[in-house]
Amino acid sequence: MKRGVCTRVYTTTPKKPNSALRKVARVRLNGGIEVTAYIPGVGHNLQEHSIVLVRGGRVKDLPGVRYKIVRGALDTQGVKNRKQARSRYGAKMEKK
């Protein structure tokens, strides 16, 4: 995993036959390489200059997107109101 800084946060459309507005970010990694990374989960708090942790893993219907942003690490918050698969989305256990 690598740390990087968001240079642009935007939405893009997937390949046929899918239809959506997928959330992605252009990230300048610490090594100086700039990559496109997918932001998984519902909703996010990222903006330009946010510091993020990037892991490998492509998104099949987005050409050129070969990385994902780790939720719940550095400036990226976890997904709110997430009950299942919480560790994948950086969501804390809800208090009763």
Strands 22-29, 67-69: pairing kind? unpaired
Dihedrals φ, ψ of 76, to 5°? -85, 125
Q: Name the pTM for this structure.
A: 0.92
Instruction: Give the number of other Cβ atoms within 10 Å of residue 1's Cβ.
Output: 9
At 94 the pLDDT is 86
Tell me the per-residue pLDDT of 62-85, one tens digit each, with 9 for 90 and over: 999 999 999 999 999 999 999 999
Q: Which domains does the chain have, with CATH numbers?
A: 2-89 (2.40.50.140)
